[in-house]
Amino acid sequence: MRPVWKENPSPGYQAIKAVVLGGFALAIVIPILVVISTSLASDEDIIDAGGYVLWPSHPTFKAYQTLFSGGLMGRAILVSVFVTLVGTAIALAVTIALAYATSRPVLFGRPVLLMVLFTLLFAPGIIPMFLVVKQLGLLDSLWSLILPGALGAFNFVVLRTFFMNVPGELLESARIDGASDFTILRRIIMPLSKAVIAVVGLFYAVGFWNAFFNALLYLNDTSKWPVQVILRTYVLQGKSLSADQLGVHPPPQPQSLQMAVVVVALVPIAMVYPFLQRHFTKGVITGAVKG
């Protein structure tokens, strides 16, 4: 709806706006579209188009069949799924517990809160981090991808801000009825904050799925590589996954196979994105900004 005081749009301004926003949107959509199309293209399509396909005229899932017929990529997907699911579960449990316990004026609440907020100010550095992970014997273990990411200060602040806004009278009355703090967290706080918890969980999940550098730093064993490292090694650096690693001879045009790897890294994000997009603008971000 146009406010009464606003001028009618001049065609010039309208055109500039359309070009800027449309151009920005196209620059995002086209590369993604080309990658998806090429992953679905047949060998002839790719040769005809000279490398990239805007629209596959003979769509085929051959590249995906090759990719999923075992070997390195299948394992990488399992690794990434494991790290994402277990990591998100642990991170959520740790963050919810800590955010709730520091959202009320309780014993040790203040110093513990300051302990968390200090992490926003200073980063410990790559080398000491590596030495600690090594000292704990976590090198070449998938736990090295999970445990160091188990508490994100931003997610903590979002949850704590939300928990603080739960009226104290509600908790007080539950306590009078004999509920313990555990019960209150489980039966009152968590049901009230389902949407926020879901969004924070998705933030964690996206983070675990996308993590690349931790794997590069802590894992030497190629059989434990997650999808992002495969993507880098195979597509970005152009090293070939040898035929026996892929399990099937002969591989299709590597171009479509490479693009299929890109799509595999992309799909889980694309799947959770609509949910994320619906919820994060409402409340979560604005809550964090105000808090």
Partner 1 sequence: MLKANSEKRQARNGLPLKAKWRRDWQMVLLMIPGVVFLLVFFYLPVLGNVVAFQDFQPFLGIMHSEWNGLQNFVNLYANPDFWDALRNTLVLAGVQLLLFFPVPIGLALIVDSLVSNRFRRWFQTIAYLPHFLSWVLVVTLFQQSLGGAGFVNNLLRQAGLDPIPFMTNPDTFPLLVVAQLIWKDAGWAMIIFLAALTTVDVSLYEAAAADGAGRWRRLWHITLPSLRTVIVLLLILRIGDILSVGFEQFILQRDSVGSGAAEVLDTFTYYAGVVGGDWSSGAAAGLAKGVVGALLLWGANSLAHRLGEPGIFQKRGAS
Give how far the C-alpha of residue 172 lies from the chain's centroid of Cα atoms, to the nearest Å.
37
Contact criterion met (CB below 8 Å) for 75 and 223: yes
Looking at the Cβ atoms of 147 and 195, the one nearer to partner 1 is: 147
Stretch that binds partner 1, among 55-63, 65-73, 192-200, 234-242 (CB under 8 A): 234-242
- Determine the Cα–Cα distance for residues 36 and 173; give it in Å rounded to an integer: 55
Looking at the Cβ atoms of 113 and 248, the one nearer to partner 1 is: 113
Compute the 3-state secondary structure of the chain and give helix, strand, coil in percent, each to the nearest 5: 75, 0, 25
Contacts of 193 (CB under 8 A, 6+ apart): 159, 162, 163, 166
Q: Which amino acid is at 41?
A: A
For residues 172, 176, 179, 182, the Cα torsion angle rounded to the nearest 10 degrees is 30
Looking at the Cβ atoms of 121 and 250, the one nearer to partner 1 is: 121
Contact pick of 55, 154, 273, 275 for partner 1 (by CB under 8 A): 273
Residues 83-142 within binding reach of partner 1 (CB under 8 A): 93-95, 97-98, 100-102, 104-109, 112-113, 115-117, 119, 121-132, 136
285 lies in the site for partner 1, by CB under 8 A: yes
CB of 155 to partner 1, least distance (A): 12
Residues 246-265 within binding reach of partner 1 (CB under 8 A): 259, 262, 265
- Determine the Cα–Cα distance for residues 242 and 68; give it in Å rounded to an integer: 15
Residues 211-230 within binding reach of partner 1 (CB under 8 A): 211-213, 216-217, 228-229
CB atoms within 10 A of CB 20: 10
Residues 26-55 within binding reach of partner 1 (CB under 8 A): 27-32, 34-35, 50-52
208 lies in the site for partner 1, by CB under 8 A: no
Contact criterion met (CB below 8 Å) for 145 and 208: yes
- Say how many residues make up the chain: 291
6 lies in the site for partner 1, by CB under 8 A: yes
CB of 198 to partner 1, least distance (A): 15
Query: Which residues in the chain belong to E strands, given as ranges?
Result: none
176 lies in the site for partner 1, by CB under 8 A: no
CB of 236 to partner 1, least distance (A): 5
CB of 93 to partner 1, least distance (A): 7
Helical (H) or strand (E) element with 201: helix 194-210
Long-range contacts of 124-128 (CB under 8 A, 24+ apart): 126/217
Looking at the Cβ atoms of 100 and 162, the one nearer to partner 1 is: 100
CB of 70 to partner 1, least distance (A): 23
25 lies in the site for partner 1, by CB under 8 A: yes
Looking at the Cβ atoms of 246 and 264, the one nearer to partner 1 is: 264
198 lies in the site for partner 1, by CB under 8 A: no
